[in-house]
Amino acid sequence: AVVGGIFATAPQIIQLIAGDEFVTASSVVIGSVQATAITALSIIIFTAVCSYLNPTFSYLLIAAGKQSKLLLPNIFLLIINVGANILLIPRFSYIATALTTVVTDLVSLAIIYYLAKREVDFSLSLGRLIRCAIAGIIMVLIVRSLTLPLLPSIVIGGSVYCGCAYLFGGIRPEL
């Protein structure tokens, strides 16, 4: 919900934090698209998902005494991330940094999840997560289409998300 909310209100957040000039200012052009601070925030916010999930699976491996399994993947990902940044930043600036960070975090999540699943017996139910993700997508679509100031966007977005998540069974009435 938070990731979707920040993604949906990125223009308003950038305007609040940096001012009007940063909403449209661009120093990066990719093809015919001018990337702005809004573009960067809209990309980099997705690392938050990995920031919550990666430690869960890492700690699962550590608790099982399998922490040595984390060393090689992390070294590999470090090399790939630094290499990609060295190659891409000169051409695509801060957008390259945002993209390489998100891609590295997603690959890290996939690898660490795979290792945890292989080394530790656990089950993961994705049903509730998928229902909440659908509620988040609906929230993003509605908030982005309304283009309201930040506070009304937060109120409407939160209401839409909670309502949809409840209707889809993503959250239970007792919560």
Say what the pTM is: 0.84
SS3 9: coil
Long-range CB contact pairs, 118-122, < 8 A, 24+ = 119/61, 119/64, 119/66, 119/69, 120/60, 120/61, 120/64, 120/66, 122/60
Angstrom distance (rounded) from CA 172 to CA 175: 6
H helices, E strands: number in the chain: 8, 2
Q: What is the DSSP letter of 30?
A: E
Tell me the two tokens of residue 151: 């506070």
In 31-159, at which residue ranges do the beta strands (DSSP E only) sit?
A: 33-36
Average pLDDT score over residue span 61-67? 95
pLDDT of residue 175: 58
| Tens-place pLDDT, residues 67-115 | 999 999 999 999 999 999 999 999 999 999 999 999 999 999 999 999 9
| Tens-place pLDDT, residues 4-39 | 999 999 999 999 999 888 888 877 888 888 889 999
Q: Please, which residues have CB within 8 angstroms of residue 5's CB and are 6 or more apart in sequence? A: 139, 143, 154, 157, 158, 161
